[in-house]
Amino acid sequence: MNNIAVRCKGVTKSYGVGETQVRALRGVDLEIKTGEMMMLVGPSGSGKTTLISIIAGVLERDEGECLVFGHDYKHVSHWEKARFRGQNIGFVFQLFNLIPTLSAAENVAAPLLINGLKRSDALESARDILNRVGMGDRTYSLPRELSGGQQQRVAIARAMVHSPKLIVCDEPTSALDHETGHKVMELLHEVVVGVERALIVVTHDSRIFEFANRIARMDDGHIISVSDSRDFRLS
Amino acid sequence: MNFIALKMLIGDRAKYLGIIMGLTFASLLITQQSAIFLGLMTRTFAFLTDTGYPDIWVMDPKVQYTDDLKPLKETEFLRVRGVEGVAWAVPMYKGLLKARLPNGTFQTCNVIGLDDETLIGGPPQMIQGQLSDLRRSDAIIVDSFSIMDKLAKVMPDGKRVPLKIGDTMELNDHRAVVVGICKATRPFQSQPVIYTTYSRATIFAPRERKLMSFVLVKAKPGMDINTMCNRIQATTGLAAYTWNEFKILTVRYFMKYTGIPVNFGVTVILGFIVGVAIAGQTFYNFTQDNLRYFGTLKAMGASDGMLLRMILLQAAMVGSIGYGIGVGAASVFGTLSGNTELSFRLPWQLLAASATAVTLICAASAALSMWKVVRLEPAIVFKS
């Protein structure tokens, strides 16, 4: 039981009310283990982004249960929820979301600063982690001075700088060409996946399925199958 | 997080400068126009500023301000002198008389006639000559601004030669000799200020039955000034004001019966609105443009309080810079206009009021942005 990172049971979520109501999740059950990279795939509107938003604690679920490392967001204050996210969750976004006026190191240092670390210590840790993702020579560069692949590397460094237990990636390769996307996934696989950490990746990009341990297919607010990466690709 | 807030702000140069320019302009307009207004109001009682020695000013009850002259009978000052508690009482003449300059032009002057014996009510500072020189024949003392400006001799080649001691002029067709130059506060209408003795002023003045403008009174040591005012009013039927009361009476008249406060008030309000419109709008746009990044920080664990502090810091920074530049520019303007006709007065109270106005503008701007950030769903970060 201890190796379960995320456990969702019967999670539902609707947007809007009355006739315009959209049921984004219609009772999702999902388990993600520590040390694994789980990919969520499915057509647009199938509920992938809603599900990772709920798992990441940035969106409230309507019903069901969702525990992240045993923590339930439902019964905690906004402040506690933010604190939990700050300490335990890392984010990698489709459009990187690097603050354009901050250097690479400053962007990477942001989660540490949010957690109350001193600026000098945070920047030092940021430089170390940038070295690990092969961006040690671009620590002072602004995002606009970096290529898409380099920006995503910085974003990955930012997602793992505070050693979170869960990293949530939303379409991490969709803004990148095939080769760069592949390198980014290699990096995520090599550097980020660890015994104590789980990764959940939302993607449409079938070329990166090989990096997943398991793949969950979603459609119309349900998880319709969860299979090993190899089985999934064969099917 | 403070340095992230500041780098986010400064990094967007165009908006950063736009917000600062808006606040600078607002601060400059509010401070400069209010300072000119205050300067003008100060000039309305310039005559009182230069005559601080008497405790009580006695005048006709219908007088509404310092230049609203309703002459008294000369015997009135003897009645005032007889009121119990009065240490001394002296007459004073004040009136607008025409001076004929050597080149033939006329200039209306503010002529002040001082008690012949004591010369009480004289100018606060002599630059050349002595106050007692007024006892010489046809003597007058002229203020230092006018000798170089309105009373200066204009030579045939157009060059202006300052009036000096020994020069003569005609005051209402009477010969007057300059025996001294004094420093005097510029009056509201910027006329030259001329001091002479009371008896000579009544010769210069057009012949009228009553010529005495005020009675200046000093109370005996230990006497309560307000009690003395009431006593003089009750005994003589004249109005008696302390220096401060007469000053307030004058300022109130100008505030109530002239369009000056409204005109300046409109400009100051305009400055405030411009500040809110430009700085507020630009600051709001800045937050709006950075909403995705605020959302990212929020998703990464930044609390609402943390983000609000960031916005407040940004608002405080642009507010301080805008206020500093605006007030600095207003001060430079005031310094440069120091020796001109323009009135300018910038006391600390006005600086504080201006700072309050800029703070309000920043608070309004920040409130809009804060509202937006607090309502922001961190899930926005997953929308492409």
Instruction: Give A164-218 as a 3 state SS string.
Output: CCEEEEECCCCCCCHHHHHHHHHHHHHHHCECCEEEEEECCCHHHHHHCCEEEEE
Token pair 């926005």: residue: B380
Structural domain range at position A128: 36-48+78-234
The pLDDT, as a whole number, for residue B362 is: 86
CB–CB contact B382 A58 (8 Å): yes
* Chain B residue with minimum CA distance to A142: B11
Nearest in space to A56 (alpha carbons), one of A220, A190, A201: A201
The pLDDT, as a whole number, for residue A191 is: 67
Nearest in space to A108 (alpha carbons), one of A57, A160, A72: A160
Query: Structural domain tally of chain A?
Result: 1
Nearest CA distance, A45 vs chain B (angstrom) = 12
User: Is residue B350 within a helix (H) or strand (E), and if so which, with residue range?
Assistant: helix B348-375
The pLDDT, as a whole number, for residue A235 is: 64
Which of A48-57, B64-73, B366-375 has the weakest average pLDDT?
B366-375
The 8 Å CB, 24+ separation contacts for B316-319 are B316/B362, B317/B6, B317/B9, B318/B9, B318/B16, B318/B19, B318/B20, B318/B23, B318/B279, B318/B283, B318/B362, B319/B23, B319/B358, B319/B359, B319/B361, B319/B362
Contacts of B384 in chain A (CB under 8 A): 94-95, 171
Average pLDDT over residues B342-364: 88
What angle is formed at CA B283 by the lines to CA B279 and CA B287, rounded to 5 degrees? 175
Average pLDDT over residues B130-156: 89
Nearest CA distance, B19 vs chain A (angstrom) = 17
Contacts of B302 in chain A (CB under 8 A): 82, 86, 114
Token pair 């009056």: residue: B187
d(CA B237, CA B246): 17
Q: Given CB atoms, is A114 within the 8 Å cutoff of chain B?
A: yes
* Chain B residue with minimum CA distance to A53: B379
d(CA B118, CA B133): 13
- In this structure, are strands B214-219 and B86-100 parallel, antiparallel, or unpaired? antiparallel
Token pair 């000098």: residue: A120
User: CB under 8 Å to A211, separation ≥6 — which residues?
Assistant: A37, A39, A185, A186, A188, A189, A229
Average pLDDT over residues B254-275: 83
Q: Measure CA A194 to chain center.
A: 14
Residue A6 has pLDDT above 80, yes or no: yes
Chain A contact probe: residue of B296, B297, B300 with most A CBs at under 10 A: B300
| C-alpha to C-alpha distances, B52 to A136, B45, B108, B120, B318, nearest whole angstrom | 75, 11, 25, 10, 44
Domain assignment present for residue A223? The answer is yes
CB–CB contact B301 A102 (8 Å): no
Q: Given CB atoms, is B374 within the 8 Å cutoff of chain A?
A: no
d(CA A66, CA A9): 6
For residue A40 the two structure tokens come to 């969520």
Nearest CA distance, B370 vs chain A (angstrom) = 17
Q: Given CB atoms, is A79 within the 8 Å cutoff of chain B?
A: yes
The pLDDT, as a whole number, for residue A177 is: 79
Domain assignment present for residue A73? The answer is no
CB–CB contact B7 A115 (8 Å): no
Nearest CA distance, B5 vs chain A (angstrom) = 10
Q: Given CB atoms, is A141 within the 8 Å cutoff of chain B?
A: no
Nearest in space to A33 (alpha carbons), one of A219, A224, A214: A214
Tell which B residues from 18 to 57 touch A, by Cβ distance under 8 Å.
none
Residue A232 has pLDDT above 70, yes or no: no
Per-residue pLDDT tens digits for A198-216: 999 998 888 888 888 899 9
- In this structure, are strands B214-219 and B56-59 parallel, antiparallel, or unpaired? antiparallel
CB–CB contact A99 B293 (8 Å): yes
Per-residue pLDDT tens digits for B44-59: 888 888 887 888 999 9
Report the residue count for chain A: 235
Domain assignment present for residue A9? The answer is no
Domain assignment present for residue A222? The answer is yes
Domain ranges of chain B: 2-43+259-382, 73-237
Contacts of B305 in chain A (CB under 8 A): 79
Which of A95-109, A213-227, B246-260, B270-284 has the weakest average pLDDT?
B270-284
Nearest in space to B141 (alpha carbons), one of B196, B189, B101, B102: B196
Domain assignment present for residue A18? The answer is no
Q: Given CB atoms, is B14 within the 8 Å cutoff of chain A?
A: no
Domain assignment present for residue A57? The answer is no
d(CA A49, CA A24): 9
User: CB under 8 Å to B251, separation ≥6 — which residues?
Assistant: B41, B44, B45
CB–CB contact A102 B8 (8 Å): yes
Inter-residue contact B24 to B329 (CB < 8 Å) = yes
Which of A102-111, A147-156, B176-185 has the weakest average pLDDT?
A147-156
The neighbouring-strand residues paired with B93 are B113
Per-residue pLDDT tens digits for B115-129: 999 999 899 899 999
Instruction: Please report, rounded to a whole number, the percentage of residues in chain A having pLDDT higher than 90.
Output: 41
Q: Given CB atoms, is B10 within the 8 Å cutoff of chain A?
A: yes
Nearest in space to A141 (alpha carbons), one of A130, A125, A132, A128: A130
CB–CB contact A82 B302 (8 Å): yes
Q: Given CB atoms, is B330 within the 8 Å cutoff of chain A?
A: no
Token pair 């004040």: residue: B94
ipTM metric = 0.89
Beta strands in chain B (DSSP E): 56-59, 86-100, 106-114, 125-128, 139-143, 153-154, 160-161, 168-171, 174-183, 193-197, 214-219, 239-242
Domain assignment present for residue A174? The answer is yes
User: Is residue A27 within a helix (H) or strand (E), and if so which, with residue range?
Assistant: strand A22-33
Chain B contact probe: residue of A48, A55, A58, A102 with most B CBs at under 10 A: A58
Report the range out of A185-189, B227-231, B287-291 with the highest average pLDDT: B227-231
Domain assignment present for residue A210? The answer is yes
Tell which A residues from 166 to 225 touch B, by Cβ distance under 8 Å.
170-171
Per-residue pLDDT tens digits for A132-157: 888 888 999 999 999 888 888 899 88
Supply the CATH number for residue A171's domain: 3.40.50.300
A105 versus B25: which is more confidently predicted?
A105
d(CA B233, CA B80): 9
Residue B16: phi and psi, rounded to 5, are -60, -50
Report the range out of A164-173, B63-72, B192-201 with the highest average pLDDT: B192-201
CB–CB contact B301 A119 (8 Å): no
Q: Given CB atoms, is A4 within the 8 Å cutoff of chain B?
A: no
Nearest CA distance, A233 vs chain B (angstrom) = 26
The pLDDT, as a whole number, for residue B97 is: 92
Q: Which among A85, A106, A170 has the least Cβ separation from residue B300?
A: A85
The pLDDT, as a whole number, for residue A1 is: 45
CB–CB contact A78 B297 (8 Å): no
Q: Given CB atoms, is A144 within the 8 Å cutoff of chain B?
A: no
